[in-house]
A and B are shown apart, each in its own frame.
Chain A
Amino acid sequence: MSLVLEGVSRSVEGVPYLDNINLVCERGEFNVLLGLTRAGKTTLMRVMAGLEPLNAGRVLEDGVDVSKVSVRKRSLGMVYQQFINYPAMSVYENIASPLRLERLPKADIDRRVRDEAARLGIDHLLDRLPSELSGGQQQRCAMARALVRDAKLILLDEPLVNLDYKLREGLRSELRALFADRDTVVVYATTEPEEALILGGKTAVLHEGRLLQHGPTAEVYRNPVNTTVTQVFADPPMNLMQARIEDGQFYVDGREGIELPPHLSHLATGHYTLGLRPHHLFASDRGQGSVSLVGEVEVAEVAGSVTYIHLDVNHRDWVVLERGVHTVHPGARFEVHFHRRHLYVFDQQDRLVASPDSELGQ
């Protein structure tokens, strides 16, 4: 089925939660809703489910307006951030409950419950109560209940957030396979850009109730439509700086003109915002074509095999991602180097006009 949102708006007591959202999700698609907390992800999912009334707009399923259809009459499954199960029922009964309400034959229910439990690796726990399971197993049970119906729409609202790191990785790697052969619209909300990239499919970037961009995940990552997307869909976010482009050169604070790289050569004279990803910044000179800027170290975080060095560059917060463990002292002068070919450029209307991976506007 296809799920279409047309001009959906939702506000509660004057506070807007969703502002004119237009979104099309096709069957068989894995859609990631990416946004910071309070971006409106949960509200959007609740609208899709029919749990939240709309102030404006329509929700269409296969071309039929379902905005007013009760959630009980719709075909959907939902998994929440908390592990929501029916504590008085065994895992088996939990998974079977949506099927029982559809009045399917007993043998049919039994087969589907066992199949689904096996796919989620909880088939040995069917006789237990949810409270006797670990967090990961409880979430698997909730997921099995959402999936067992073969619903047209599956909503996953940050389902992995309450799991510890190891369990999260395990379940996440299974997720794509779980949905691979299902003819259903899957919507997965998360705050973590990394999760969107791992899960692939399509990504919709939400910010303050507005939909900024929707498209294939890699495409959205490579060509963020504006600087807000670069902040939401990248962790650490993209480093930005103001620049002026004139006569085939660009000017940044504290630097004389630098020759434009080929992918920026078409840009007209004017003011722009330049962006660089943290892993495209280096602590050492990168040779031919590399440019350097000077900043001041604010703090350095060592995270396993990489070090995040936070800098103040021309009064903007920048993050440099360096391989290995580095010791730098706050307050120290720090020279960062980058290749011009890695530059993203946004115009004064905050629209992407050039990115390293494509020749926009040409």
Chain B
Amino acid sequence: MDARSTTLLIVGGGPGGYVAAIRAAQLGIATTLVEGDKLGGTCLNIGCIPSKALIHAAEQFEQACHYAQDTSRAEALRSPLGIQVESPRIDLAQTVRWKDGIVARLSGGVAALLKKNGVQVVKGWARVVDGKTVEVTGTGQDTLRIACEHLLLAPGSQAAALPALPFGGNVISSTEALAPPSLPKRLVVVGAGYIGLELGTAYRKLGAEVSVVEALERVLPAYDEELAKPVAASLRRLGVELHLGCTVLGLSAGGDAVRIRNAQGEESALPADRVLVAVGRRPRTEGWGLEGLMLDMNGRAVRIDDQCRTSMRNVWAIGDLTGEPMLAHRAMAQGEMVAELIAGGRRHFTPAAIPAVCFTDPEVVVVGRTPGEAAQAGLDCINAVFPFAANGRALTLEAGEGFVRVVARRDNHLILGWQAVGRGVSELSTAFGQSIEMGARLEDIAGTIHAHPTLGEAVQEAALRALGHALHV
């Protein structure tokens, strides 16, 4: 068995692990990163990036189809832009190749950054022996034993399975849904959270018939109702069937339908030649020796403090392993902080807000507290909404749907949260996050000149409206 030693050993090369590795190496810490699959983790290979590529392709195709349908209609119903297209087609294999190209480029970029900064990357699957020793197998050579002073656990998460619908055959997770060999005729999506809706929408736009089954009574149950409403309306407009308040019983005997039961107890079957189960993700806690460390847990996740320390000294955990919110940008920020702590810095993971974005159509952004959360925390707040219907740029983009909402304290106008729903609002998350982290008040945003004509004007107008003097509503 080969043996080597390092100061910091990172298990997992996802966004948390690789950022921690780069930062640690920049700070002069001898760093080894162990990754069994591809660098970039779920985010880069089977999550954020490929899903956004697929969504973009689906959107472009749907747009073209939309114009094509218009030409067959009466003059008055045709595309107001005057664009005419005839029978568009999509080569799905090419779409997947294009997406894979982007992923390969980014993954190569991560490898280059690690190399440039002097991180030792070990290819193979890590198995934790104890808090200072890890064995790596699957490299094609001998088992490699690595001793370390600091162990950073960043193994990420995996798609949660439903006991009634185990993965396999036509029942797929988001991973397989992002590399479809062909387009299913009928897709049933189980779970109306952001993953199910993003992919369901993309498949619908690519031409599949899509039904969504959700146990709760509305789509995006993790978000507040006003934000979910425009998304639900858009799904209906696109022709996605919604089966809300329904429980999944399993596949039909023939395997070509999903049996469900609604709130009234009536059973029915939804024909499907593919079933996407998107009912959440679970921290990856099994199969790599985590149990041997006997760390304190927080449900299924590893318990950490505000410095990402676990219950064992010099064993750190970041990202999805540590539970919700399972977001790449949270893992990256944690990874950077852990590297600086190991280098002797004093840091805490206490962000004022962690933005969350759904790339549905329309997009949804939530940063900081919603009015409901503020009220629950006992804070006396005001909130104001500015609709994109009153924003010039939104109308020129045919995106007059949705709104921006701000939540601020009533006494000193400190901004506590922003929410938005609408086309392209994901990019507003930057402004939202900055204003909250900087401790901006409504007056700060109202007093900042926002460029015209942009969607961002709705941000300023929401602040003005909260102050009682909106100009354009």
A binds B: no
Residues of A whose CB lies within 8 Å of any CB of B are none
